[in-house]
Amino acid sequence: MKYLTIALTKGRLASKTLECLEKIGITCEEMKDKSSRKLIFVNEELKLRFFLAKGPDVPTYVEYGAADIGVVGKDTIVEEGRKLFEVLDLGFGNCRMCVCGPASAREFLDGSRQIRVATKYPNIAKDYFYNKKHQTVEIIKLNGSIELAPIVGLSEVIVDIVETGSTLKENGLEVLEEICPLSARMVVNQVSMRMEGERIKKLINQLREKSE
């Protein structure tokens, strides 16, 4: 039997995914060792291979077939726009993509003047402002700590993930508009879905039953 390769998003999503897999009897003890720098792990018995990648790279590995399956946030799937099948909402990592800023920035969202929007998600921000709101904005790509941008005057608002809302609150910012809900999703390579359909569908069904 061929190995099925599963790409996990390094960090919180990977730990949650391993918990889910454990519930259906798929374990990978090696992977739980937080001090290890190892990137790839094998479950010989089940002929599964797991590796850890940065979120935005997971859809890339899956589109090219370097991984048959991936677990990644919906935000990253939408932002990356890769060719793959999204097959399951895993029901964890729930959060929202939002336009945020100081309360005083609310008046800028009516399109009356051109504003700057800082974000790690330029494609999602562009789609929202241009195609949904029909508002012309300048998008500025950042790589993290996005909440800084309106505080130091880089932009009027940000497009970012809000989970508990505490980062916003502690920085004097708030949700101004909600773009969409997000959660962890399972994605599958389009060829793998055909070639290994039976094994992959079994896995999807087992995970679906447990997440319900």
Which residue from 163, 178, 205, 209 is in contact with ligand PRP, where contact means CB under 6 A? 163
Choice between 25 and 144, CB closer to ligand PRP: 144
Stretch of 38-46, 60-68, 129-137, 141-149 contacting ligand PRP, by CB under 6 A: 141-149
166 scored as a contact of ligand PRP (CB under 6 A) = yes
User: CB-based contacts of 51: which residues, under 8 Å, 6+ apart?
Assistant: 5, 6, 7, 8, 39, 40, 41, 61, 67
Which residue from 29, 104, 134, 144 is in contact with ligand PRP, where contact means CB under 6 A? 144
Provide the 10 A C-beta neighbour count for residue 136: 11
Distances (CA, A) of 18 to 29, 63, 71, 158, 179: 10, 22, 10, 32, 29
Choice between 160 and 196, CB closer to ligand PRP: 160
The site that binds ligand PRP (CB under 6 A) totals a number of residues, namely 13
Which residue from 117, 146, 179, 207 is in contact with ligand PRP, where contact means CB under 6 A? 146
Taking the complex as a whole, how short is the minimal distance between the CB of residue 65 and ligand PRP, in angstroms?
28
Residue with nearest beta carbon to ligand PRP: 144
Q: Where are the beta strands (DSSP E) in the chain?
A: 4-9, 40-43, 48-53, 69-73, 85-89, 95-101, 115-119, 137-141, 157-162, 174-182, 184-188
160 scored as a contact of ligand PRP (CB under 6 A) = yes
157 scored as a contact of ligand PRP (CB under 6 A) = no
3-state secondary structure of 51: strand
User: Which residue has tokens 């932009």?
Assistant: 155
What residues line the site for ligand PRP (CB under 6 A)? 120, 144-147, 160-167
